Structure formats: structure tokens, C-alpha cells
Amino acid sequence: MRHFSVLCSFIVLAGILGSFFGAPPVAHAANAYEALLISVSGSGKITLAPGEKKEITATFQNIGTSTWKNDGAGYVSLYTQTPKYRKSVFDPGTWLWGDHLKRIRETSVAPGKTATVVFEIKAPTTTGDYVENFQLAAEDTAWVTGGMITLKISVQNTATAQVKSTTPVAVSDSTGYAAKLSVKSADSIRAQAGRPILFTVGFTNTGSKTWNSYKISAGDVAMASTSSFSHPSWQGTDLVTGAGAIPAGQMAVLSFSFTAPKTNGSHTARFTFTADGVEIPGAYVDIPIDVTGGAAEAITAPTNENAIDTTSFIEEPMIRSGVLIVDEETDNEVVITSSESAFDLRDVQGNLLAELGVGQSVTASYDGSRYVYDAGRGTEYSSYGLRFEPKTANAIMKISNFDRRVTRNYTYADNEFRNVLELRFNDYKDRTWVINELPMEYYLKGLAETSNSSPMEYQKALITAARTYAFYHWTHNTKRAKEFMTVLSTSDDQVYNGYGQEKRSPNIAAAVEATRGNIVTYAGDIAITPYFSRSAGKTYNWSDVWYGTVAWCVGVPVPWDEGKTLWGHGIGMSASGALAMAKEGYSWDGILKYFYTGIELEQRWQ
């Protein structure tokens, strides 16, 4: 989100780690930030004349475990969504920014209570039908699950709008029962195979009869017993039931769970709505689901009983690390080459701009309004960011006019990086980055978070904590999203030096391979794993230092640090203590489980 609340850096032991781990997000348990949309002006359907303004009010119930606030760290507000951070044509000039609407009105909203967001929209001069999506976010922490509203806005000339306003919205059938799907928490879902999904729908009573009971169903017994969407919370074919008078014009809101199928690909789940036991024609919700990390769709091949079951694995994440701000250090341009692979120059839309051979180079920059490049044919231009993609996957790319020894008095040039480099300007901070996009495990091999000579079990513990940190931000996509990256390569996140560091650190590379795909979890979810340089004989509870409570970050004694001075925030793993434990023969998983209470280690990819 736009303003970052700066928390304590994860200070890493000098001489051993040589860097900071990075500023932690506010960790939260599963569904800590979750909302239920209660109402929105016009049930989400708005008609405006060109240039007309209208005030919109949306109310949400806090159904998560964290208290919402309208100020301070993690304040809750409404952003544009799908795509996120886009500038909306409906901004009347009174929003916080063109992509950031308003904060919740209430100072504090405890779990179970209701929050209100009030904002104004102004119709553009062009008539037509528009769809605007907005979503709640806890600043620099998480998007609020279920906190989305969709406005279907019809911009019409005044005469047309008046005629349309007299047309009935809905007509009841002969039984007096009619319903309209007015709210759903998402238009589509991308989910890991086999994962539970919580979904919210709202059906408006467009008939003449008052509803007294209502439910969401899976359709029939056959579907419920064999469906790949079934969830333990279902009762036969019924997913969820509700009761209470819903007169005509009011909306029944229900939240229910279902399970993502175990097969990769596109699926559609259809669930039906029933009121007072009456099946209402057309009252259903279709939910498109894109499943990843599961079995292939074709299952006709013979089964290998000795094969490892990989249905729970996901594809190895691709990390995007900002490695260089393009400024006067490189004369506001970069020269990209590779001595290992031919490579393509493409724009970020995928269009091929040039093909270069091994050893050839391309000069590129951003001039304030467009991207400029010379691939050997003279100066050319692009409206979109530039990608330098090696034809051999994970080959070494080089920024040949960048040398840390010259400009920063470093020992090593560290200007080589595996896989894709991308030149990307962002107006969020008005700067141009070179971003390195590469598989997670190669990213970890390029980290400078510990020395190559430290004990292997310590290295494995540290690498696993670092992997968990990067995976958390890859999953949540909040920390650096406005600059088109997952993490920075500096101490603000994790110090990443690229291929040069990988070459100099064969033991760390071995620790990465030994723990490949393993992350720290708590109750099945990613567990943020802060660490620091040295304790004074014990670690602290999360709540002793930072806001909130984190179940796995509770204080433990660190006898190896007795008599020493605290160096760092004191939460999570003491690097000094962990190093001593490794020297005494503790295993990497034992070290992690000692410092992080009740955690598990899960391999998420191979």
C-alpha cells in the first residue's frame, strides 16, 4: 500500500550475517483480515449522468481476528482492485489518490463489529457501462479477504437515465419468490489444489414474499457425495443455512466454504440459492476457479505406485528482486549482455523487440515518458517496460556498466544475475529499477545473509527463515507491489547480491538444496520468522515489542547468550544463539522449532 509503517529491521549478526533481514510486516494468523460485505449503495448498481457526482456508502462486518483501525500501522482503507492500484476515471478529486479512496470512518472496529467507508464518485463524460472494483486493505499488511465491492455503473444522458429509472428492476414469479445475485466476494478465484476457500454471496429478494429461511446448496446428493468441491462443513447437499426475515428489496448474505479441486486447470463451481424451501429459477452463483499446484488434467497414464505424491506441491515461485535503481550511478541507463546465452528483448506485454546473440549487448533507459533502447539498429522506443530474457533458462545476465567496486568501493562487482532482467519505471516513487526475476531457490543462493563458513545446520535454519520471508511476500504481494517487485535486494528486505554471491558461497548453495521448498508454518499457514543478532539471554514475546500477538513468537531462554548485550529487536531467532546451537550439534529444524513455538516445516515445492 502507499504509505509504509516502518517497523524494526531484522538486524543480523555483524561478521556472520553482514546485513539486515528486513522490516517485518505485521504478522497475522489465518483469516486475521477478513470481511463480510453487508451493504453498498444501490446494491452496487449506479446510474449517473456524465459529470454527475454521487456519494457511495459501503458497510463491512469484520469477521477476522484482527481489530481494524483507521489510523496508524495497518490502517484499513479502500483501494482500486482488478487490477489493483489502477487510477480510476471515477475519482472526483476527493480521494486520497487516484487508486486509493478513503479510510474506514470508525476509529476502531473489533471482530464482529461493522465498518463504514463513504466515498464520492464522479461520472466521466463518456457514456457507457462501467465496472469498478474496490477492496479493503490493511496498509502494508494484507488485502482484506472478502472486502471487495463491485459497482456496475451506467453513465447515461439525463433523458435516458430518467426513462430507465422508471423500469421495474425485477418481477416476481407466480409463487411470489424471486431472487437476484447482488454480491459475491470475487468474480473468479485462483487457488492451490485442495485448499479450502471461503466465499460470500448476497441474494436480493426481488419477489413479493418475505423470506424466513434460506440456504446455499450444492445441487443434488450425487454432487455432494462425489464433488471435488466438497468441504467438511457441508451437511449433505447444504453448504450453509440462514434464518431471519428478509422482506422484498432486502438482501440475504451468506458465507460458506468449499474446496479447490485437486486437478490443475479451469473449473466452475455452481451453487444454488433456496428461500423457504422454494427453488428459485436463476438463483445460483457460478464461481470460476483456476487451480494450480495439483495433478495434471490428463490422468490416463498408468499409476506408478512408487512415485512421490506431488498433488500438494506448488510450482516453485518466481521472485522479483529490485537489484539496481537506474540513476547517475550508471549515467541513467543500463547496458545488458550475456556471455552465456543468446537473449530476447521483449516488452512487458510479451512483444518481441529484438534478438541478441551471446556477447551482444543492448543499451536501455527510461526518458521520463517512454523506454529507449539500442539493440544495434539505432535508437528505438517502447511504451512498455523492457525485459531481457535469456533463451537458456536461468542463464547469467550481466549489467555491464554497473560495477560496485567502482561506484560503491565494494570488494566484488556483483553485477551478474540469473534469468530475466527487467527495466521498469514506477510512478509510485518516481524511479526506474532493474528487477531480477528468477526461481526462488536460485534467489536464496544469491543471498548474503550469512557467511559461507558458518555451520551447515545454522545455514539451513537461516535459509529456511529467509525462504519463508520471501514466500510470505510472494504470496501476499503487498510489500513492494507498487514497484513491480516482491522484495528489495537491500537490508530493507534481504541482501541479495546475485550470481557472484552464489559462486562465492558453495556451502550456502548446498544448504539451499538441502532444504529446497521448505518453509515454516503455523497451523498450516505461513509463519513470519523474524530473527535478530543477539539476545541478552532470552527472546521476547511479539507483543512485548510490536503490535498484536503472534502465537509462535513467544519468549524462550537463550543460555548461549547469557551475559551478552541485546543487539536487535529480540523477537524470534537469536542468530548468535542459533549459531552456538549448531556448533553444539543441534539440527536446523531443531533450531527453528526451539525459537518458534509450535511451528512445523512443510515442503511446498520440489
User: What is the chain's percent helix, strand, coil content, to nearest 5?
Assistant: 15, 40, 45
Select from 544, 548, 546, 542 the least CA-distant residue to 596. Answer: 542
Residue 302 confidence (pLDDT): 36
Segment 495-514 mean pLDDT: 95
- Domain coordinates in residue numbering, the chain: 1-30+440-606, 35-167, 170-301+308-314
DSSP tag of 394: T
Each residue of 321-342: pLDDT tens digit?
999 999 999 999 999 999 999 9
Question: Of the given ranges (31-45, 152-166, 197-211), which has the lowest mean pLDDT?
Answer: 152-166
The x, y and z cell numbers of residue 310, run together, are: 506431488
Residue 597 confidence (pLDDT): 96
Using the predicted structure, report yes or no on whether residue 521 has a pLDDT greater than 80.
Answer: yes
Using the predicted structure, report yes or no on whether residue 165 has a pLDDT greater than 80.
Answer: no
pLDDT band with cut points at 50, 70 and 90 for residue 174: low
DSSP tag of 328: G
CATH fit for domain 35-167, picks 1.10.1740.10, 3.40.50.1860, 3.30.1490.190, 2.60.40.10: 2.60.40.10
Using the predicted structure, report yes or no on whether residue 231 has a pLDDT greater than 70.
Answer: yes
CA distances from 329 to 265, 332, 403, 431 (A): 46, 7, 9, 13
Residue 82 confidence (pLDDT): 67
* Burial status of residue 352 (CB atoms within 10 A of its CB: 0-12, 13-18, 19 or more): exposed
Kindly tell me the sign of the dihedral angle through the C-alpha atoms of 374, 380, 386, 388: negative
Name the CATH superfamily, with its identifier, for domain 170-301+308-314.
Immunoglobulins (2.60.40.10)
Residue 278 confidence (pLDDT): 86
Residue 584 confidence (pLDDT): 95
The x, y and z cell numbers of residue 89, run together, are: 476515471
Each residue of 175-216: pLDDT tens digit?
789 898 887 766 777 666 777 777 778 889 988 899 999 999
DSSP state string for 19-37? SB--PPP----TTSSBEEE
Segment 125-137 mean pLDDT: 88
Each residue of 370-426: pLDDT tens digit?
999 999 999 999 999 999 999 999 999 999 999 999 998 899 999 999 999 999 999
* Burial status of residue 327 (CB atoms within 10 A of its CB: 0-12, 13-18, 19 or more): exposed
Cell 444454488, residue?
272
Segment 41-59 mean pLDDT: 87
Residues 6+ apart with CB under 8 A from 6: 23
**pTM for the whole structure:** 0.54
Residue 143, classed as helix, strand or coil, is strand
Mean pLDDT computed over every residue of the chain = 83
Question: Of the given ranges (85-89, 299-303, 352-356), which has the lowest mean pLDDT?
Answer: 299-303
Using the predicted structure, report yes or no on whether residue 514 has a pLDDT greater than 80.
Answer: yes
pLDDT band with cut points at 50, 70 and 90 for residue 241: confident
Residue 185 confidence (pLDDT): 63
pLDDT band with cut points at 50, 70 and 90 for residue 219: low
Segment 260-282 mean pLDDT: 81
Each residue of 547-589: pLDDT tens digit?
788 999 999 999 999 999 998 889 999 999 999 999 999 999 9
pLDDT band with cut points at 50, 70 and 90 for residue 292: low
Give the whole-angstrom CA distance, residue 468 versus residue 446: 16
Give the whole-angstrom CA distance, residue 571 versus residue 550: 10
96-105, 333-342, 446-455: which has the highest mean pLDDT? 333-342
Residue 192 confidence (pLDDT): 67
Segment 57-69 mean pLDDT: 88
Each residue of 471-484: pLDDT tens digit?
988 988 767 888 99
* Burial status of residue 592 (CB atoms within 10 A of its CB: 0-12, 13-18, 19 or more): buried
Give the whole-angstrom CA distance, residue 181 versus residue 203: 5
